[in-house]
Structure 1
Amino acid sequence: MLADRDAQLEAEEEDTGKAPIWKEVYALFRCPGSPCDRGPHCWIDPVGKKHHHLRTSHLKALIAFRQQGNILKSHDNVPQDICDQLYLEERQRLEREPKTNVSSPFPPINITNVLPQSQFLMTGSNAPMPQGDIRPCGIVSLAIPGPWDLAVKEYTEWQRSNVVDEKLKAEFSRACKVVLEDGMGLEQVYEDQNPGFFIQNRIKSGIARRFISGIKVWADQYKSACDSSIMN
């Protein structure tokens, strides 16, 4: 069977002068290696650069997508339904993992020897942020002026103004609703960088990515406009 398949593929390559579609697909999604441990074939999320393992069923779906005449030249071209399926499988995989504490390879640190006692007592949730409001993940606070829920609505209107399709406008409004119903502001959404949060709430992947990626640009423009109005 395998010999017959190989002969058929070789004949296809000779007839067309091009490599068979399956070879193109397999080559495009072959995992580049370190730091990924999910290979041998992966889809790299263009937003978070996270590697998602591609099983044979995924690769077959991509081959079929390409055989239908669709463009598949980069990881950005992966169709939405396959992206959503990979996000769902990744979330399910994380949910199945046991919630165990991984022991650190480094010796324990006695915090009381590192910080003065007064500082140690303030390291709880009520402790002030360090100067510059640097978040633990290294992202600088957006410091958006005004009520945070109003900022979410203003930002959504900005995103809506950048599209003309009414369905896309409605999708951004749905994303806004999901954020507010979960009690989050733009700063939390920006820090999390988690399109999966929106996708699991049935927001389209492309809208989820744009909603996250545009926050910093909008916040800078919004703060600049607020500063200008104060000066005037």
Structure 2
Amino acid sequence: MGGARRGAKPFPLRHPPGVANLPDVTMTIPLWLMLLLVVGLGSAVVAWLLPREGTGPAHEWVEKLGLDHLPRPISAVSVTIWGVLFALFLYGLVWLLIDLAARDQGNMRDFRTSLLAVAAMVAGVSGLVAFPLTLIRTRQGERQTYAREQDLVTDRINKAVENLGAEKTVRRHRKNSKGVLLYEDGEDKKPDFKKPIITEETVPNLEVRIGGLFALDRIARENLGFHVQIMQIL
């Protein structure tokens, strides 16, 4: 009530006809309150328009911007604030360009000031345009990193599972049923102790298998998403 303040829009209220000796009253709405109302109404509209689930172009853009991980009110307010800032900067840029074209270029000081203002507005618009693009690029980087991590964990699981069935080949001196070591016969038909009969056998590689078990246990503790899968393997 009273005099108009800076940044506020005046609304004069006239007294009714026939009522004299009453001063005119001017109500002022602060600029910040008007912006707050615009942001509030815009946020409500954006929250209603944001896709809740399913597929479609709108849902894909929400995922690209990473808004699907935020609560709906925060996402709506963020989008609305970005839209209001973009509209204000774009309006200011257009107004400055029109004003610059109408200025007298003979006054270099004012002309230079207008050019600086236009450059600042262009930088602001560029920053606002680059902001969602940066979010999209960051989101794509996170997805690629997550995919690489999942592939790495899968490779580790496959390697550990292969180790569970590891075997090794051992060479042993052959024995008969009585446990006596056997040798090849020499020219005199007698055992040649320099030529033992060697056999190769495939046996489980216990060291590697135990290492595979420990590897699976570590993967299950570090990656809870694979815990059930690893328990099923074991």
Fold shared, TM-score > 0.5 on shorter chain: no
Higher helix share: 2
User: Per the shorter chain, which TM-score range?
Assistant: under 0.3
What is the TM-score normalised by the length of structure 1?
0.20
Higher strand share: 2
